[in-house]
Amino acid sequence: MRRNNGIFPTLVFLILAVLICVIASLTVSASETPKLSARAATLYEPKSGRFLYSHNEDTRLAMASTTKIMTALVAAQKLSPDETVIIPKEAVGTEGSSAYLTEGEELTVKELLYALLLRSANDASVSLAIHTSGSVESFALLMNEKADALGLKDTNFTNPHGLPDEEHFTSAHDLAIIAAEALKDPLISEICATQKAVITSNTSTRTFLNHNKLLHLYDGCVGVKTGFTKAAGRCLVGAALRDGVTLISVTLNAPDDWNDHKRLFDLGFELTESRLLARRGEYSYSLPVIGADGASAVKAELSSDVRAVLLKTDKAPVADVRLSRYFTAPIEAGQKLGEVIFTLDGKVIARGEITSKESVPKAKKKVFLAKIKDFFKK
């Protein structure tokens, strides 16, 4: 019986091809699920609202001093940065990490925020709490009100510093949302990215070094906050910015947290991009105007570039231009006349304003009435 010598090599080739595909798929899968030490973790891209990685993200856990992100957010929203705070006796000697503040010492809110976020000073957190609302307990109520306003379901605060309490907890998911909200505040964002600060009060000068080693361990890191207690373990919230993409990473109870966050950031920047959806002036129109002095149209265009953070595998978003049929004078240069709305899978991901390129003055009353009649005759 004759052997078909062409079949065997073909089968070998097919088997090898299948094996290569399987190995490739396993490699991609492994890159998307980094091995972490954390009991709970998440990676959040705040501009799109996407969670790029999650592990036990809704598990309620102790958060230690990452609590102070919410403390800073509430204090910054309730107080002026230059407002003077007189250190109360209740804050002096607070257990744990401390700036060694003294009763009656005077610092500004801004200076206390540096102590809070760089030194992780518990006495600074109590000082801010009492100055804001009169007591630690009432300040915790403000923290919980803010958590409710952010739609958080697995967070409860009983203090502004994060010392152990069974009723004081959060989740990796919720902590990412809190950090994203806090970083919208320019002062908090500035402080979180600072490695060293010298603060002078009416009685002493102190130097604070940021506990967050990610600031020099990872290129592009801009925050946010460390935390540790025996009960909570090592907790860390990170933030990094590269090429227009900001990522927020959270680990709770993570023995190897620095490396956990580097892996999370690497994954996030591999998956995402800041994509240009439209350039300034790309959408341009001549729009009808009634009641104008010597003009029947106004030139308008997209006022600025529009970008969105997307997965590199996302398809092109859909653009929807929204403009009125006509406009009434007067119109000022730069006035918003409409917008371009970009959607992906039915979700709005970006908006761009269409604005007037010129001013169009209003016609005198008689001319105005005549032009209205002419317009509706057309």
Q: Which residues pair with 359 in a beta bridge?
A: none
What is the identity of the amino acid at 141? L
User: Structure tokens of 26?
Assistant: 């396993």
Asked if 215 and 195 count as a contact pair (C-beta separation under 8 A), the reply is: yes
Q: Which listed residue (65, 125, 127, 133) is catalytic?
A: 65
Asked if 208 and 115 count as a contact pair (C-beta separation under 8 A), the reply is: yes
For the chain, give the number of residues: 378
What is the C-alpha separation between 141 and 165, in angstroms, rounded? 15
Q: Which listed residue (47, 48, 68, 110) is catalytic?
A: 68
Closest CA to 73 of 158, 206, 162, 179: 179
Q: Which residues pair with 283 in a beta bridge?
A: none
What is the C-alpha separation between 275 and 307, in angstroms, rounded? 5
Q: Which listed residue (48, 97, 120, 356) is catalytic?
A: 120
To the query of whether residue 120 is one of the catalytic residues in this protein, the response is yes
> How would you label 280-298 residue by residue, b for 16+ Cβ within 10 Å and e otherwise?
eeebebebebbbbeeeeeb
What is the C-alpha separation between 72 and 251, in angstroms, rounded? 20
**Angle between helical axes of 109-117 and 122-133 (0-180°, round to 10):** 140
Could you write out the DSSP letters of every residue in 345-376?
Answer: TTEEEEEEEEEESS-BPBPPHHHHHHHHHHHH
Q: Which residues pair with 273 in a beta bridge?
A: 310
Enumerate residues 6+ apart whose C-beta is below 8 A from 283: 301, 302, 321, 340, 352, 354
- CA 230 to chain CA centroid, nearest Å: 29
Asked if 75 and 128 count as a contact pair (C-beta separation under 8 A), the reply is: yes
- CA 112 to chain CA centroid, nearest Å: 23
What is the C-alpha separation between 298 and 305, in angstroms, rounded? 21
The residues annotated as belonging to the active site are 65, 68, 120
